[in-house]
Structure 1
Amino acid sequence: MPNNEAKFSVNQPLKTQKLFIGVQIFFRIVAIAASVASSWLMITSKQVIDIGGIVLDARYSYSPEFKFLAFTNIVVGCFSLLSLLFLVLVVRQGSNPNHYFFLFLHDLAMMSLVVGGCAAATTVGFLGKHGNSHTGWMQICDNFGKFCNRAQTSVTISYLNLICLSILTITSASKSRKMEA
Structure 2
Amino acid sequence: MMIMAKIPATKTQKIFIISQILLRSLAIAATLAAAYIVLTSKQTVAVYGFQVDARYSYIPAFKFFVYVNLIACACSVVSLFVTFIFVDKAVNLKNYFYVFLHDLTITLLLLGGCSAATAIAYVGKYGDDKAGWLPICGHFAKFCNKLFISGVVSYLSLLFYLFLTVISAHLSHQIQA
Which whole-Å CA distance do the structure 2 matches of 1:95 and 1:178 have between them? 16
Runs of 4+ in structure 1 over 3 Å off? 178-181
Establish whether residue 89 from structure 1 lines up as the match of residue 85 from structure 2: yes
Structure 2 length as normaliser, TM-score? Answer: 0.91
Structure 1 length as normaliser, TM-score? Answer: 0.89
1:26 counterpart residue number: 22
Which letter maps to 1:34? A
Q: Which residue, out of 61, 66, 69, partners 1:65?
A: 61
2:53 match: secondary structure: strand
On the 8 A contact 1:118/1:159 being kept in 2, the answer is yes
Report deviation, 1:71.
Answer: 0.6
Report deviation, 1:152.
Answer: 0.8
Which whole-Å CA distance do the structure 2 matches of 1:97 and 1:69 have between them? 34
Which whole-Å CA distance do the structure 2 matches of 1:141 and 1:94 have between them? 54
1:113 counterpart residue number: 109
The unaligned stretches of length 5 or more in structure 2 are: 1-7
Which whole-Å CA distance do the structure 2 matches of 1:123 and 1:162 have between them? 16
Which whole-Å CA distance do the structure 2 matches of 1:144 and 1:34 have between them? 24
Which whole-Å CA distance do the structure 1 matches of 2:121 and 2:144 have between them? 8
Which letter maps to 2:148? Q
Q: Mean alpha-carbon deviation: is it higher for 79-88 or for 49-58?
A: 49-58
Q: Which residue, out of 171, 174, 177, partners 1:178?
A: 174
Report deviation, 1:180.
Answer: 5.1
Which letter maps to 1:30? L
1:39 counterpart residue number: 35
Query: 1:101-180 counterparts in 2 under 5 A?
Result: 101-179=97-175
RMSD between superposed Cα atoms in Å:
1.6
1:139 match: secondary structure: coil
2:4 counterpart residue number: none
Which whole-Å CA distance do the structure 1 matches of 2:172 and 2:10 have between them? 17
Higher-Rg structure is 1
* Per-residue Cα deviation, 1:5-38 (whole angstroms, up to 9, x for no partner): xxxxxx9x73222111111100000000001000
Number of corresponding residues: 170
Establish whether residue 80 from structure 1 lines up as the match of residue 80 from structure 2: no
2:5 counterpart residue number: none
